[in-house]
Structures are given as structure tokens and as C-alpha cells.
Structure 1
Amino acid sequence: MKEHNDELDCSGMNCPLPILKTKMKIDTMDNGDVLRVIATDPGACNDMPAWTSRVGHELVESCEEGDKFVFYIRKGE
């Protein structure tokens, strides 16, 4: 597990909820903080990298843990 400042569990949510919840959570964090996002929707594997790159955040790492997809996102400026 990577070091992170906060965590968001989006298990059971389908697109676009994981992205919307991630945006709302990361907006409350400081620049440079890392958010760990857990999702079960396979669509998140494409959506998260596209969204982070479009809005200026950094996808530090993504991996699978069992039936869950885990993303570490560093908040950009």
C-alpha cells in the first residue's frame, strides 16, 4: 500500500459516480496530497487515468487488489 493522505471507497458505484465522488473529495484536499480511491466498476480503469490527466492531477499508481481497482491520485495545483 502506498502512502496516502485520505481514502475514498467507491465500491459498488457505477460510472460516473466514482469520478464525481473523487472530484468532490479531492477538492477538499491540499495540493500535493494523495487520495487512495477504491472502485469495483471496471470502467474506472479507463475513466480515472483520463480524468486525472484532463484536470491536472497525477495518477501516481493504479493496481488491482482482488476484485477491486485501487488508484492513488496526487492533487495537482
Structure 2
Amino acid sequence: MTRKECLDKIQEVVDNLDTLLTVIKSPSKTTVGWDCEVYEDEAKNLTNALNDLRVNYGNETRTEFSEGLNNEKKKKGIKE
């Protein structure tokens, strides 16, 4: 998994959790218990994504990680 893929997965889960928190706070006929089950699944996804990041890049400094991320983007032609 590339650095960008790791970060994209983490961002996706964070966005999903943010949406879920908004849903939980809004009036609805669905139960909070159901919402918590979804929240739990997303929390597991976040843990998995963070573990992937740690396993693949945990020994890099932030500077090394950032440089590697920039190199990945250059290889794929992605502009910042």
C-alpha cells in the first residue's frame, strides 16, 4: 500500500465517522444502537488503516514520509 493509499483510507474513514456523528446528533427513527454498530465498524476500519500505515512506514520520520509521498505523487503525475 502506498503512502497516499494509506492516507486516503484514513481520510475516508475519518469522513465516514464525521458523517456518522452528524447522523447520531440528528432526529431519526433509527436507533442509536444501530448507529453505534456502524461507528464500531468504522473505528475498526480506522484501526486497520493506522496499522497499515505503521507497518509500512512506521520507521520513517515525518520528513521522510512527506518526501516519499511527494515522490509517489510525481510518479503518478498528481499535482498538489
Structure 1 and Structure 2 fold alike (TM over 0.5): no
TM-score of the superposition, structure 1-length normalised? Answer: 0.28
Greater RCO (CA < 8 Å, at least 6 residues apart)? 2
TM-score of the superposition, structure 2-length normalised? Answer: 0.27
More helix by share: 2
Highest CA radius of gyration, 1 or 2? Answer: 2
